[in-house]
């Protein structure tokens, strides 16, 4: 897959729980890393699901994104190699991060902490082309930190009833962050997940999303697949767990679409349409 013209930092966000944020983060990251680009995943969810799926230690006491947000350590000290690929690194989240949402409130530059930790120098040192930030299911300070640290937002949407509920709130938060803290932030990518071709509903959600978001929605849709949901139980991505499965192949296709867009992007990384005015 082509390396991007410029390093890309994507925040994977949706305050709705269980829509496939973590699954998409780890599998897209693994697909890119297995096809020639170096990727860093930042696990910004105290649940630590991305760390688990990438086979990275995240017991309490492990150097993690928490200490990096507090400025106690450099992100370099927390970045650990994933078992998924030698070109995939992960900054794990430990349970300590659960307190960060409240601890950050009283801190100086509380919205900029992750951006400061993900400095160009640190990312140069890690030699990464892509950074994916996996957000918790909320719009709190952790997610705001992720939105400030990235230029692009990737929103996974589950092909289910109520899928679009709450999306307006996410988009207006993105608008707020763009106007006050991070002018280059934009929704570059929408990924439809857990698509079940047997249901009419899945097609309805898909066409509604395409109507609203046009080309920002990837053509590839991730099917609902047991293999995808089993993989984290073995501390693996689905690409490692069952490379030939439909779930694995669809994540590779989605990653390729993302990479091809990245290769066409100009400085500032704005190939995707804007979502203002929704």
Q: Is 170 in the site for ligand ATP (CB under 6 A)?
A: no
Residue 45 as a binder of ligand ATP (CB under 6 A): the answer is yes
Instruction: Centre a 10 Å sphere on the Cβ of residue 256 and count the other Cβ atoms it contains.
Output: 17
Among 56, 222, 239, 252, binds ligand ATP (CB under 6 A): 222
Identify any residues that bridge with 155 across adjacent strands, giving them in sequence order.
190
Tell whether residue 48 is a contact of ligand ATP (CB under 6 A): no
The structure tokens listed for 153 are: 């937002």
Distance of CA 119 to the CA centre of its chain: 18
Is 23 near ligand ATP (CB under 6 A)? Answer: yes
Considering only CA atoms, which of 115, 6, 98, 17 is closest in space to residue 60? 98
Rounded CA-CA distance 41/29 in Å is 7
Q: Which of 7, 8, 21, 115 binds Mg ion (CB under 5 A)?
A: 21
Please tell me whether residue 224 binds Mg ion under the rule CB under 5 A. no
**Of 16 and 21, CB closest to Mg ion:** 21
- Out of 11, 14, 22, 24, which residue is the one contacting Mg ion (CB under 5 A)? 22
Shortest distance, position 101 Cβ to Mg ion, whole Å: 15
Q: What is the 3-state secondary structure (H, E, C) of 38-93?
A: CEEEEECCCCCHHHHHCCCCCCCCCCCHHHHHHCCCCHHHHCEECCCCCCEEEECC
Residue 194 in the binding site for ligand ATP (CB under 6 A): yes
Nearest C-alpha neighbor of 117 from the set 102, 133, 105: 133
Q: Is 137 in the site for ligand ATP (CB under 6 A)?
A: yes
Q: Rule CB under 6 A: which residues touch ligand ATP? A: 17-23, 45, 49, 137, 193-194, 222, 224-225, 228-229, 232, 247
Q: Rule CB under 5 A: which residues touch Mg ion? A: 21-22, 49
């Amino acid at each position: 897959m082509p390396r991007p013209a410029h390093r890309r930092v994507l925040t994977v966000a949706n305050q709705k729980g269980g829509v496939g944020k973590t699954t998409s983060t780890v599998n897209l990251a693994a697909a890119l890393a297995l096809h020639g680009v170096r990727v860093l995943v930042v696990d910004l969810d105290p649940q630590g699901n991305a760390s688990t799926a990438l086979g990275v230690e995240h017991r309490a006491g492990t150097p993690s994104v928490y200490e990096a947000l507090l400025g106690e350590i450099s992100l370099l000290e927390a970045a650990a190699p994933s078992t998924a690929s030698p070109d995939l690194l992960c900054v794990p989240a430990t349970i300590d991060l659960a307190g960060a949402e409240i601890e950050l409130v009283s801190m100086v530059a509380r919205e900029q902490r992750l951006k400061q930790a993900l400095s160009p120098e640190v990312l140069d040192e890690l030699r990464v082309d892509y950074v994916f930030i996996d957000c918790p299911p909320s719009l709190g300070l952790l997610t705001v930190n992720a939105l400030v640290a990235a230029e692009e937002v990737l929103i996974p949407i589950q092909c289910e009833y109520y899928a679009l509920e709450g999306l307006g709130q996410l988009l207006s938060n993105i608008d707020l962050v763009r106007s006050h803290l991070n002018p280059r932030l934009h929704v570059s990518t929408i990924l439809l997940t857990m698509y079940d071709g047997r249901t009419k509903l899945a097609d309805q959600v898909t066409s509604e999303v395409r109507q609203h978001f046009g080309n920002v929605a990837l053509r590839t849709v991730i099917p609902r697949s047991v293999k995808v949901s089993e993989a984290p139980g073995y501390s693996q991505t689905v690409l490692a767990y069952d490379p030939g499965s439909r779930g694995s192949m669809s994540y590779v296709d989605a990653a390729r679409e993302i990479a091809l867009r990245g290769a066409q992007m100009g400085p500032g990384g704005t190939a995707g349409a804007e979502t203002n005015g929704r």
